[in-house]
């Protein structure tokens, strides 16, 4: 197993950990806090870094029509939109918006799991 492959797996796993902590802590609190937002951004950075490392490992060209690439792109762009929106809501949003934000967070997290587990299964298949 190459060092780059190990690095990419570690980075994507850290993305899962940080993003999940932020999403589920927010869900349990039912109120968006600044540290949740920091967790979202940290997860996004790890996800982007892990995705880039995996891209470096790939032998083919970037093909948006390939299912894993498409779902991964959708997920990472949703994570970015989620982090930006969470930042705005935490800084300037109403109390009501901070109380309801967890619904959007959970949807984005569930969508993000599709390419995460898809990539894991692809890796196990070889």
Q: Give the pLDDT of the chain (126 residues) as one tens digit per residue.
A: 789 989 999 999 999 999 999 999 999 999 999 999 999 999 999 999 999 998 888 877 777 778 878 888 999 999 999 999 999 999 999 999 999 999 999 999 999 999 888 877 766 665
| Coil, strand or helix at 126 | coil
CA of residue 40 relative to chain centroid, distance: 8
pLDDT for res 59: 77
pLDDT for res 126: 58
Query: What does the alpha-carbon distance between residue 89 and residue 65 come to, in Å, rounded to a whole number?
Result: 34
Query: What does the alpha-carbon distance between residue 123 and residue 22 come to, in Å, rounded to a whole number?
Result: 26
Query: What does the alpha-carbon distance between residue 31 and residue 102 come to, in Å, rounded to a whole number?
Result: 7
How far, CA to CA in Å, does 66 sit from each of 34, 48, 80, 116? Answer: 36, 18, 21, 15
Q: What share of the chain is helix, strand, coil (3-state, %, to 5)?
A: 85, 0, 15
pLDDT for res 7: 95
pLDDT for res 69: 84
């Amino acid at each position: 197993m190459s060092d780059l492959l190990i690095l990419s797996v570690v980075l994507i796993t850290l993305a899962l950990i940080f993003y999940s902590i932020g999403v589920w802590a927010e869900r349990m609190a039912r109120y968006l806090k600044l540290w949740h937002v920091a967790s979202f951004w940290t997860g996004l950075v790890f996800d982007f870094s892990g995705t880039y490392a995996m891209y470096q490992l790939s032998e083919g060209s970037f093909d948006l029509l390939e299912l894993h690439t498409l779902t991964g792109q959708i997920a990472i762009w949703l994570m970015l939109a989620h982090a930006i929106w969470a930042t705005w809501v935490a800084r300037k949003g109403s109390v009501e918006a901070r109380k309801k934000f967890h619904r959007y967070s959970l949807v984005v997290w569930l969508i993000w799991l599709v390419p995460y587990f898809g990539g894991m299964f692809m890796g196990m298949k070889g």
